[in-house]
Chains A and B, each alone.
Chain A
Amino acid sequence: MRTLHTIWFENTTPFVEDAEKWQRQGLNFDTELTRIKVLREAASNAFYYWESPRISSNPSFRPVTLPEETVERVRELFPGSI
């Protein structure tokens, strides 16, 4: 979800920049720019309130990055395993 949100924002940014540039040259992109602004706000709101699906009460389905002290403990417990 986070990645999708980032990609969408990155994909709309160049168009917004180009449209604003051409707007300064006298072309009218008011409708398109307004629509993009509305959609970006809607996407940001959706992202802000989004929660990852809760498939379990325990965290076993979550991505895990172990803290350094835990990595050290694993090395002590199971030498040569990582």
Chain B
Amino acid sequence: MAEIETGSPPYLDPIPFSTGLLLSDDTFRLVEGFACNKVGQPETPFERDVTIWLTAAHGDGAFEAARLGLAEVRLFLADDHRVIGYGAIGPVDWTFGETIVPLWLLHYFGVHTDFRSAKFADYRLSYGRRLLGGIIEEVVRRGDRKFIALYVDPQNPARGNPETNTGFYPEFGFREIDAEVERGRTWVRMLRPL
């Protein structure tokens, strides 16, 4: 398990990223109807981002990013072949002052509505935690980049509390470094060393 800054591991029984099916012409049909809102609750804007990106057929979504080789998008299936969730990572270079630093970007990550409400004896066994744990372990295993980064909507509860470093992403070792405005919308940039 990857070393993290917090005391107890934020996940148990990680789902290995490499066991996911690559999104492709052959597997794209599996994402039809994907949604990731909580059962019985309206879809939040950031849940909608995650759904739209995965299911967009042309031009501006996961399929295009995978086709262009910009992202490795993997689908995780239950035994009955329903989609549990997905993760998308890709290599990028960020410029830190005079230094170009290769890192991994967690572009998107989501758990299907049907699997978000599953109850477990230990919260660290939730599908979201197991999937993200598998992604973190995969990029640590690859060992070729210093950081993994992500962008999160400031209203997304997964952002956690930057003052106390509590909440979903902080528990996985992500720390806020700044914010960026993209087409009028603010995104918090988070970084985690590998």
Chain A residues in the interface with B (C-beta under 8 A): 53-71, 73-74, 77-78, 81-82
Residues of the B chain whose Cβ atoms lie less than 8 Å from the Cβ of A58: 49, 107-108, 151, 182, 187
B145 to A: closest C-beta gap in Å:
11
Q: Which residues of B contact A57 (CB under 8 A)?
A: 49, 52-53, 182, 185
Contacts from B to A (Cβ < 8 Å):
49, 52-53, 59-61, 64-65, 68, 70, 90, 92-97, 99, 101, 105-108, 146-147, 149-151, 175, 177-178, 180, 182, 185, 187, 189, 191, 193
Chain A residues near B178: list those with CB within 8 A: 66-67, 69-70, 73
Residue of A nearest to B95 (CB): A65
Check if A59 sits within 8 Å of B180, measured CB to CB. yes
- List the count of A-B residue pairs having beta carbons below 8 Å apart: 86
CB of B49, distance to nearest CB on chain A (Å): 5
In the complex, A73→B189 CA distance in Å? 12
Provided the pairs A53-B60, A60-B107, A67-B178 are in contact, do residues A81 and B146 lie with their beta carbons within 8 angstroms? yes
Residues in A whose Cβ lies below 8 Å from that of B193: 78, 81
From residue B95, how far is it (CB to closest CB) to chain A in Å? 4
Please state if A56 and B97 are interface contacts (CB–CB under 8 Å): no
| In contact, A77 and B175 (Cβ under 8 angstroms) | yes
* A74:B177 contact, CB within 8 angstroms: yes
Contact partner of B150 (CB less than 8 A), chosen from A60, A67, A74, is A60
Q: Can you name the residue of chain A whose Cβ is closest to the Cβ of B101?
A: A82
What are 27 A-B interface contacts by the 8 Å CB criterion? A56-B60, A56-B107, A56-B108, A57-B49, A57-B52, A57-B53, A57-B182, A58-B151, A60-B107, A60-B150, A61-B70, A61-B90, A61-B92, A61-B105, A61-B107, A65-B95, A66-B96, A66-B97, A69-B178, A73-B177, A74-B191, A77-B175, A78-B191, A81-B146, A81-B147, A82-B99, A82-B101
Q: Given the complex of chains A and B, what is the CA–CA distance between A51 and B61 in angstroms?
A: 17
Contacts of A64 in B (CB 8 A): 92, 94-95
- Whether A68 touches B65, Cβ cut-off 8 Å, given contacts A58-B49, A81-B193, A82-B146, is no
Give the residues in chain A near B180, CB-CB below 8 Å. Answer: 59
